[in-house]
Amino acid sequence: MESMKSSVGVVDGTWSHLNELISDVPCWTCRRRRLRCDNLKPACVKCTRAGLQCLGYGPNKPLVWVEHGRRRKMAHKQTPYPASPTPAPSVKDNDREWRKAPEDDDRQITRWEVAPIIKSPADPILRQHGIKSVEYICYYEQRCCMECSIYDEKSVNPFRRFLPMALSNPLVHHTIVSLAAHHRARSEQAITHMRLALAVPTPSDAVIASTLLLIWVELLESGYRSWKYHLGGMRALLLSRTSAALRSDVEAGVAGSMLHDATFWNFGAYFEEIYVSAGNRQEDVHACSSRLLQRLEQFSCRQWAVDYPEPNYVSQRESLAHAYKCAIEIYGRRALAGQHATELSHIAHAAVQSLRCISPRDCHFKGCQWPAFVAGAEARDPSDQMAVEQILLDMHKLVRTRNVEQAIHMLERVWHQSELPNPKTWIEYVYDTGEELLLV
C-alpha cells in the first residue's frame, strides 16, 4: 500500500502524470464483459485477476478470435430437415432469396480463432504479415478449408496443407489472402507473384498450390471461364515436371490421372481422352463406354460407405455415393453411349431422392453440387426439378460462389428448352451454349 501511495503522489503540484497510469475509458475486455473497469494501465487489475487478456484502451476495437463462429439465427435448428418433398419457391423468389442471403445470415461467421497461428500479440508472424493478412489466413483456415472438403479433419483436408506455405511463401500467402478476402488488389498481387514464380524453369509445389487456389478465386469473383485457364495451366505444369523420358502417351495418361483424383477434375476431359485413345473409331468408343457402365453397375455404394472409419457417416455417405452413381450413369450415357432417345428420368429421380436424404447442415452436403446439377438437368418431374433448385439454393448460401448461381440459371434454360418441339438432350444444349461450368 505504501508503494502504491508513493506512486500516485502529487508531482510538481499537479496530477497530470496520472494520465499515464489511468485511462479515461474502460478497457475493451471489460466493455465486452459489461463490467466496470478500474481503468489502470497498461492492463486493468480486474482482467488480470480474472485470468483474462486485457485488450487495452486503444481507440479502435481490437480483433478478437474465439471459438468457431456461431450462427446468429438458430431458430431453424429446431426444425429437422424434411424428408418429404416441400414446395419450392418460384424462380423469381429464389432470385431474391440468394441476393439477400448475405445480409440475412451475415456470412454466418463473424470471429476467427487464430490461436493455432498466432501465439501472442508480439508473434513475428503478426509483425511480418500484419493483422489484416493474418485475419484472412485464419478465415481461410476455418471457413474456406471447411467448405472445400467434405471432411474437415486436418489429416483428410488437403487445403489445410497449404497453410505452412502461406506463412513462408509470398506466392501462396497472397493467393490465400486473395481467396479469403475476395479483394481485387490482393488478387493482382497474387498474379504478379505467379508470373515471377513461373519464370523459374522448374515450377515449385507453391506454384501448383496457388494455381489450384486461383481457380477458387475465379469461382468467387465470376465463376465464368477464367478458371479454365488456371486449370489448363496447372495440368501443363504437372506434365512439365515429369522427365523427358516419361512424356510418352502412356505416361501422359498417368500424369493426367493425378488430376483425375484432384478436386477440380471434370468428367468431360476424361471422356474426351477416351475418344482420343480409341482412335476416333466409333465401335471402340461404344465398347469402352459399355465397359465403363458395367463397372459402374458393379460399384457398391454400401461397401464404399462402410470403408470410412467413422461409423456415424455410413448412411450419409451411402446416399451421396448413390447420387453420384446415378449422376455418372446419366452423364456417361448422354456423353458416350449415343442413346439420346433413352429415358433416364427414373435414374434422375433416384439421384434426387438420395440427395434429399442429406441435410444442408451435414458435412456431406458440400459434395452434392455436381450430382444435383446432372440429376436436375435430366429430371422431367417438376417436383424433382424444384427439389434440385432448392438444393442448389442451399448450396449457394453455404459456399457463395458464382458458379452455383450460373448452374441454377443454366438448369432453368435446360428445363425451358426441354418443353420445346424436338428438344436437344441437356448435354448437347449446354455444349451448344458455349458456357463452361465448373461444378465441384
Task: Give me the sign of the Cα torsion angle 341, 345, 346, 352.
Answer: positive
**Farthest CA pair distance, the chain:** 104
Listed in sequence order, the DSSP H helices in 222-266 are 226-240, 249-260
pTM of the model: 0.50
87: which residues sit within 8 A by CB, 6+ positions away? 386
Give the helix/strand (H/E) hosting 290: helix 282-298
Report which DSSP code applies to 141.
Answer: I
Q: Are 211 and 217 in contact (CB under 8 A)?
A: no
**Domain positions in the chain:** 2-49, 110-245, 266-433
Angle at 431 between CA 319 and CA 414, to 5 degrees: 60
Distances (CA, A) of 72 to 98, 108, 367, 435: 18, 7, 25, 37
Please, what's the b/e burial string for 387-414 (b: 16 or more CB within 10 A of its CB; e: otherwise)? bbbbbbbbbbbbbbbebbbbbbebbeeb
**pLDDT, position 95:** 44
pLDDT tens digits, 16-40: 555 567 787 888 888 888 788 888 8
The length of the chain in residues reads 440
Q: Is the peptide bond before 102 cis (omega within 30 degrees of 0)?
A: no
In tens digits, what is the pLDDT along the chain, a chain of 440 residues?
Answer: 444 444 444 445 444 555 567 787 888 888 888 788 888 887 888 887 777 878 888 877 765 544 444 444 444 444 444 444 444 444 444 444 444 433 333 333 333 344 444 444 444 554 556 667 777 777 777 667 766 666 656 566 777 777 777 777 788 888 888 777 763 444 455 666 666 666 666 666 777 777 777 776 766 655 455 666 667 777 777 776 664 334 444 444 444 443 344 333 343 444 444 444 544 555 566 677 788 888 999 999 999 999 888 888 899 999 999 999 999 999 988 887 555 667 899 999 999 999 999 998 888 898 899 999 999 999 999 999 999 999 999 988 887 777 788 889 999 999 999 888 888 889 888 888 877 777 76
Q: Quote the CA–CA distance of 66 and 85 in Å, as a whole number.
A: 38
Q: Which three cell numbers stand for residue 35?
A: 463490467
CA neighbor of 440 nearest in space, from 201, 275, 280, 265 = 265
What pLDDT does residue 190 have? 60
Q: What is d(CA 431, CA 437) in angstroms, rounded to the nearest whole number?
A: 10
